[in-house]
Amino acid sequence: MNIKPYIYVYNIVKNGTIRETANQMFVTQPTISQQVKKLEKELGFKIFEKTGREIRLTSEGEKIYPFVKNLVDCVYKLDKEIEHIREKDNKLILLGIGPVISHSIITKIILAFKKKHPEVSISITESGSIELSKLVKNNDIDSAIVNTDKETRTWLEQNNVFHHSFFNTDFLLMTSSKHNLSNRKSISFKDIKNESLMLYKNGIVQKSLLQLLSSDEKQNIFLSFVDYTSIINLVRDNLGVSIVPKSLVNSWFKSRKEGVSFVEFNDFGKSMKVSYIYNVGDKNVEYIKYFQSILSSYVKKIGVQ
């Protein structure tokens, strides 16, 4: 089994375009397109479809994507373990990224850090805030940037995981521009209890809503995703609504926000903060302290936008 085409599929969904994927993976666009077409031929169905310049998963692609992501995650974890075995003294930072800041900001942080410490490798794991908090607690990763609420911060303290909050998290309702809620100036979570909700998997938003909604209303959370590209496409088609951090939306390109609207919540997520969480471990190592300072300076800028 050739894993490479599945890695291309995973990154196309994550990045939103073949062009961006090619740039990040240092390959040509035709190479990726050819590999994906070959995989589609082997599977017997299309994984992607194009609408103008936009590329999105087909219904068949949506069904297999969670398995593709799990496969790629396992490959990355295997690579990390092999790295550890081969180079016990290898300088490596294992960082978790929740859906709170954009890839462009992460790229800037890494480039700034690498200017001083080119010898240090940075491995990134993307997931929901709840899953990443557990990974830090279990020492599977060193640290993470996540959304936290009061309950989560208490849990972190009880499990000897340190947290530093950068700024309060404001949340927005994302709807199709055609949706009847799209023209509202503000909204309550009670106004969306009958809406079809599409949320980030293993995220703090999903957990918080499950606590707020009744058992009947919880049935409206009918899709749980591992990336925002699929959510945006479905919301744009008016198949449901979603809740997204304002800090993330502010970093999206204009083209990504076409066809969707955003409304501020007046009563949801008020105790939530974008936080950096970590185990104390060897955090006194100079290069790790320097990485924390770089990360902090960039993330704080997001909070004042």
> Do 92 and 119 touch, CB atoms closer than 8 A?
no
260 and 289 in one domain? no
Which 3-state string (H, E, C) describes 75-92?
Answer: HHHHHHHHHHHHCCCCCE
78 and 59 in one domain? yes
Stated pTM of the model: 0.64
pLDDT (tens, 9 = 90+) of the chain, 305 residues, equals 788 899 999 999 988 888 888 887 878 889 899 999 999 999 999 999 987 777 899 999 999 999 999 998 888 888 777 766 655 556 788 899 988 887 788 888 999 999 999 988 888 888 888 889 999 988 888 899 998 988 888 999 888 888 888 888 888 999 999 999 999 999 998 888 888 888 877 677 777 777 776 655 555 555 666 678 888 888 999 988 998 888 888 878 888 899 999 999 988 877 788 899 987 655 557 888 888 889 888 887 765 44
- CATH number of 201's domain: 3.40.190.10
Instruction: State which residues form the domain around 126.
Output: 91-151+276-303
74 and 9 in one domain? yes
Residue 96 sits at the vertex; the CA angle it makes with 95 and 100, to the nearest 5 degrees, is 125
13 and 97 in one domain? no
Distance CA 217, CA 238 (A): 19
Helices (H), 16-147: 18-25, 29-43, 59-86, 103-116, 129-137
Which tokens go with 74?
């396992």
249 and 105 in one domain? no
